[in-house]
Amino acid sequence: MRVLRAKSAGFCKGVERAINIARDYASRGRRPVFTDGPLIHNSQMMAELEREGVRELGDYRSSEKLEIDLNDEARKQAVLIVRAHGITPQRREYLRSLGLEFRDATCPDVAAIAGRVKMYAKKGYTTVIFGDPDHPEVVGILGYSQERGYAVRTLEDIAALPDLGDRVCMVSQSTMYVDEFEVLAEALKQRFPQAVVFNTICGATRDRQGDVPALARDGAEAIVVIGGRHSANTLKLARLVELQGIPCYHVETLKELDLAALARYKTIGVTAGASTPGFLIDEVCSALEAL
């Protein structure tokens, strides 16, 4: 079987940076190394990090206080790391108050979006973000909007916005569809002609989305998408495959892959989300090549 592996498959720079930060502390014997919720959206990688001494703690959506039962000596060694998706300024202030060493692993691209929203909010702008209102990245970014923020996903959402006046700033969750952002941005400009619009979809997302039709053009008869079922960018890749009119097989690991069903194809494309570790991609590609 011929296997076409997307050039962009695997960790993006923001995810790789967050993992390296956690691993660096763990390798130096710092114990425990905490992350505020899952560092990234991949359960297999989080399990790997846990074996290395990294422990998931808390939930960005919860208002409950974190229970950290450590003696004084352990507190001196403990580290608390912010997830790659970022957090609200209120959450940041609370985590810093816990008295542990604090390290921010927010993706630089996400941090840049939050910084832009913060700057425009100070000027009196209302923020409109194209994204999933329940996604941790969107929750974190809207925390900088001074409570003047709306998440939108459809044209209906744009139409349902109240009168926001002349000061409107639009950004995007970093992992959204480029084409959909352009459509919604045009609709927003129709309603609010003075709106300032920033396409903040990251380069890694653009590359991954572009690689899907490229795999189809290169002859892929079906495409395997590897990544977490809660990973926004992975789910979007699966949908893009379906839009190409070819079969999509979305799996988290090789164990979920129906090799018998894939054996009828001569050429298979393989891509993966930004949080998918290379060893999972290698396993799938090796199994397909062996058919």
Q: How many domains does the chain have?
A: 3
One domain for residues 180 and 230: no
Q: How many CB atoms lie within 10 A of CB 258?
A: 9
Q: What ranges make up the beta strands (E) of 143-288? A: 149-152, 168-172, 196-197, 222-226, 248-251, 267-272
* Predicted local confidence at residue 62, as pLDDT: 58
- Spot the catalytic one: 137, 180, 186, 256: 137
* Predicted local confidence at residue 75, as pLDDT: 79
One domain for residues 92 and 113: no
Check if the beta carbon of residue 142 is closer than 8 Å to that of residue 151. yes
- In the chain, the amino acid numbered 5 is R
One domain for residues 179 and 245: no
CATH code of the domain containing 70: 3.40.50.11270
Instruction: State yes or no: is 221 an active-site residue.
Output: no
Assign 110 to helix, strand or coil: helix
One domain for residues 25 and 66: yes
* Predicted local confidence at residue 67, as pLDDT: 67
* Predicted local confidence at residue 111, as pLDDT: 98
One domain for residues 55 and 83: yes
Q: What is the pTM of this model?
A: 0.91
One domain for residues 34 and 64: yes
Q: 136: buried, middle or exposed (CB in 10 Å: 19+, 13-18, 0-12)?
A: buried
Give residue-wise pLDDT tens across range 150-207.
999 999 999 999 999 999 999 999 999 999 999 999 999 999 999 999 999 999 999 9
* Predicted local confidence at residue 230, as pLDDT: 85
Q: What is the residue-wise DSSP string for 55-105?
A: EEE--TT--SPP-----HHHHHH-EEEE-TT---HHHHHHHHTT-SEEEE-
Q: Which of 160, 177, 197 is the last residue of a domain?
A: 197
| Count of alpha carbons within 13 angstroms of residue 279, beta-carbon side | 4
| Dihedral of alpha carbons 107, 272, 174, 212, sign | positive
* Euclidean distance between the first and the last CA atom of the chain, given in angstroms as a whole number: 6
Residues of the chain scoring pLDDT < 70: 59-65, 67, 71
Per the structure, the complete domain to which residue 23 belongs is given by: 13-106
According to DSSP, residue 256 is labeled: G
One domain for residues 113 and 178: yes
One domain for residues 102 and 129: no
* Predicted local confidence at residue 30, as pLDDT: 79
| Dihedral of alpha carbons 37, 43, 45, 47, sign | positive
Q: Which of 106, 127, 148 is the last residue of a domain?
A: 106
One domain for residues 172 and 235: no
CATH code of the domain containing 230: 3.40.1010.20
One domain for residues 151 and 226: no
Backbone dihedral angles phi then psi of residue 32, each to the nearest 5 degrees? -85, 160
* Predicted local confidence at residue 64, as pLDDT: 58
Distances (CA, A) of 209 to 27, 135, 177, 276: 35, 19, 8, 15
Q: What is the dihedral of CA 91, 97, 103, 104, to 10 degrees?
A: 20
One domain for residues 132 and 213: no
Q: Which of 197, 232, 251 is the last residue of a domain?
A: 197
Gap between the Cα atoms of 129 and 94, Å rounded: 25
Element (DSSP H or E) covering residue 81: strand 79-82
Gap between the Cα atoms of 211 and 6, Å rounded: 6
